[in-house]
A and B are shown apart, each in its own frame.
Chain A
Amino acid sequence: MTTMATTRRIPPLGGFSPTFLRLEFRRMLRNRRAVIFTLVMPSAFFLLFGSDGKYKTESAGHGNVTAYVMVSMAVYGAMIATTSGGAMVATERALGWSRQLRLTPLQPVAYVAVKVAVAMTMGLAAIVAVFVVGNLEGAELSFGRLLLCGVLGWSCTLVFAAFGLFMGYLLPSENVMQLLGPSLALLSFAGGLFVPLDQMSDVFANIAKFTPAYGVGVIARWPMEHDGNLGLAVVNVVLWVAVFVGGAAWRMSKDTKRV
């Protein structure tokens, strides 16, 4: 014991390490429900909504309608991945795991960084999965624009990491995603990811612009087709990030008694 005492050190990067990432990925992939929800369901939804034969010949901006649906569904998939990543942080806190981790040198920032890295990687996988299925199903969009759509949609879905965190704090339970899954589908519908706004009634279309998935969808599709108002979309994303981060911070501050 005393021989070790002289060499004890704090881990580099606050504990963020390849080992930590590897173990978290392995755990994530073991969760069959999470894999199905993020990797299979968005592609299935794409096939359901976007594989209509006539979409392939209808153009939408720089691509066809199939590609339009594909980008929207990719955003939906990434939303699910990042939301569940955010919700995991709060769930693990509720389970007392964060308290167990406080007996180690792990820095909270490093912990959140691992969670974000895992959630964003899953989000990326969801986007790639939909893009692959989409291209097999005849989506037409140049590779450069496709890449740009993917990157924009991917980074904007960080909004939903904050959403997951906030909801996880509000409903701390291991099954929080069973509630959040349908909510995300509803938000995606309301935000024009499943059905474009111009196919909704005016009232619905106006309400849609204030829901959190709207901004992300418009920004992600921007390189392909300028449908909707980019300025409004950016304001939408910024405001919802503020709401969710503020909400999560508020719940967190209520919850410091026994961390």
Chain B
Amino acid sequence: MNSSTPAVSIDGVVKRFGSVTAVDGLSLQIQPGEVVAFLGPNGAGKTTTVDMILGLSQPSEGSVQIFGGDARQAVALGRVAAVMQTGGLLKDFTVRETVELTASLFIPSRPVDEVLDRAGILDIGDRLVGKASGGQQQRLRFALALLSDPDLLILDEPTTGMDVQGRREFWHAIRSDAADGRTTVFATHYLEEADAYADRIVLVRKGKIVADGTAAEIKALSAGRTVRATLDQADTSALARIAGVDSVDVRGDSVLIHGSDSDEIARYLLNHTPARDLEITSRNLEDAFIALTGDDAQTPEGALA
């Protein structure tokens, strides 16, 4: 494998369903070994994009390449595997039979017991799928995705139906694989999952990328930080002239200054005013998410690349 070949290369992709444009000019490159969260509200085009990465549907415009080649071929060879939101399971197979059947299709395939164990469902192998809980069924889908030992793992809302403990174990397994170099792309609307487990977050809205960077970069991008200080008789017009400040709010003897460069604000306050009790708070990812993906949100200029 050429190390300069991206795991996923999406170039100017548009996908239309009749008059609806689900994906609207999306370009994205994911390098081998990255753990990328695809974050966005429902209907942002996440699942449609995942479908195209897996070759389940073809873009109306643009191209998708997986390890420099055709997506269907990569899926057939087991280089790409996925846990799909919509992938159905048959209730009257046992958990183990479902894995056995899928294992029979991949050459080579990991041993059935190994993937059951890694997905944490070895103890319920003989249970009928219909009798397994939603979280256990989701783990079964994960076990199926591990069979071909894929180089690229795609997860569409992977922890749906799992309890907190299940979620933690699931992400532990994903992270340990990622440490071994497996490229992982997951679509989610759980902000905390994207924040905690992804190296990189791609924020999508209405079929377009609105931000792309680390969790910290995304938070800063939309939100900036707020600096609060105790300051009598603040000169609000002077404060508003500090580089990057977008709002100054006086509440009694407190002043709240919001801006993109909190260091500059703090430096000014300490050097040029008698301000004391400084507090710097950043908005959390949820605020950034709402700011960037809300209906009235504007695509920020110079979104991080």
Interface assignment of A138: CB less than 8 Å from any CB of chain B: no
Which residues of chain A are within 8 angstroms of B97 by Cβ–Cβ distance? Answer: 23, 26-27
Interface assignment of A30: CB less than 8 Å from any CB of chain B: yes
Contacts between the two chains (Cβ within 8 Å), count: 103
* Interface 9-mer from B70-78, B197-205, B268-276: B70-78
Interface assignment of B265: CB less than 8 Å from any CB of chain A: no
Are A104 and B77 in touch, CB under 8 angstroms? no
Which residues of chain A are within 8 angstroms of B180 by Cβ–Cβ distance? Answer: 1
Within 8 Å by CB of B77, from A10, A98, A100, A102, lies A10
Interface assignment of A259: CB less than 8 Å from any CB of chain B: yes
Which residues of chain A are within 8 angstroms of B30 by Cβ–Cβ distance? Answer: none
Mark interface residues in A1-37 (1 if CB within 8 Å of B CB, else 0). 1101101111100010101100100110011000000
Interface assignment of B149: CB less than 8 Å from any CB of chain A: yes
Which residue from chain A places its CB closest to the CB of B56 in the assembled complex? A102
A6 to chain B: closest CB distance in Å?
Answer: 9
Interface assignment of B93: CB less than 8 Å from any CB of chain A: yes
Within 8 Å by CB of B90, from A9, A26, A95, lies A95
Which residue from chain B places its CB closest to the CB of A7 in the assembled complex? B108
Interface assignment of A105: CB less than 8 Å from any CB of chain B: yes
* Interface 9-mer from B80-88, B118-126, B245-253, B255-263: B80-88
B294 to chain A: closest CB distance in Å?
Answer: 28
Are B88 and A9 in touch, CB under 8 angstroms? no
The interface centre, meaning the residue of B51, B105, B144, B149 with most chain A CB atoms within 10 A of its CB, is B105
Interface assignment of A103: CB less than 8 Å from any CB of chain B: yes
Are B151 and A19 in touch, CB under 8 angstroms? no
Give complex CA distance A226, B232 in Å: 111
Which residues in chain B, 61-106, are within 8 Å of chain A measured between CB atoms?
Answer: 75-79, 81-82, 84, 86-93, 97, 100-102, 104-106
The list of the 8 closest CB pairs from A to B, nearest first, reads A96-B88, A100-B87, A105-B76, A19-B104, A95-B88, A8-B77, A104-B105, A9-B107
Sample of 6 more A-B contacts, CB < 8 Å, known A4-B108, A5-B1: A1-B181, A2-B1, A7-B108, A11-B107, A96-B89, A103-B84
| Chain B residues close to A by CB (< 8 Å) | 1, 17, 51, 54, 56-57, 75-79, 81-82, 84, 86-93, 97, 100-102, 104-108, 141, 144-145, 148-151, 180-182
| Chain A residues close to B by CB (< 8 Å) | 1-2, 4-5, 7-11, 15, 17, 19-20, 23, 26-27, 30-31, 92, 95-100, 102-106, 174, 257-259
